Structure 1
Amino acid sequence: MNDYNNKDIALQGFVNDIKTIINTARTNAVRSVDFCRVQMYWAIGQRIVEKEQQGKERAEYGTYLIKNLAKEIEPEYGSGFGERQLKFCRQFYNTYPIGNALRSQLNWSQYRIRTCCSTQRTHS
């Protein structure tokens, strides 16, 4: 009976180790995807700002770049690439213009909250 309990305990320890490996890999995969998404939105914001400003200090008033871009890409890539989201990308790049400063610990939702809060502080 004692030998049976030891085997059962050893098996449970082994199972727990495997579960830990799986859970760690899943967590790391989610973080990796989130950070790739952050980098994608930052790069989109950068391209929008560069295209809007065309080397000038500020963008020309009345350009419909974001609206037209959303019309082109939203049907293929979905609502995550609509006009509102693209404006967030531009705002995100303007808030964090140095790409190397992006932190892999933050996901897109956390950056959006920080970006919105920093914009509200500068405009109040």
Structure 2
Amino acid sequence: MQRVRAAQYRALQQVNREQMQLYWDLGQLIAERQQQYGWGKSIVETLARDLQTEFVGMSGFSVQNLWYMRQFHLEYSASEVLQPLVGETSGAKHLLI
């Protein structure tokens, strides 16, 4: 039983790391494109709609969440102390930080 639980926990940790990396990457993309091309509110709304259309049933790609991803990237990339936490901490804990 303990072996199964340990394997489940490790699998959940890996999923969390991948999800946080995805959020980081999307936030970075938005921040970079805003700086390079002057992306604004409407392009983020379009991106959210496109992601929701492509990945039906998958939550987390709302306009507000994309702005949170951008903020997440900007806040953490500005701090050497926070950067190592990107994949090691859950999304809820990142919101608290």
Q: TM-score, normalised by structure 1?
A: 0.64
Structure 1 gap ranges (5+): 1-18, 115-124
* Higher helix residue share: 1
Q: Which has the higher Rg, Structure 1 or Structure 2?
A: 1
Count of matched residue pairs:
92
Larger relative CO (CA 8 A, sep 6+): 1 or 2? 2
Residue 80 of structure 1, CA deviation: 1.4
Identity of aligned residues (%): 26
Trace 1:35-114 onto structure 2 (pairs within 5 A). 35-54=17-36, 60=38, 62-77=40-55, 78-97=58-77, 101-103=83-85, 104-114=87-97
**Post-superposition CA distance 1:55-85 (Å, at most 9, x none):** 8xxxx48552211211211122244111011
Could you tell me the TM-score, scaled by structure 2's length? 0.80
- Structure-2 separation of matches of 1:46 and 1:61: 13
Please list every run of 5 or more consecutive structure 2 residues that lacks an aligned counterpart in the other structure: none
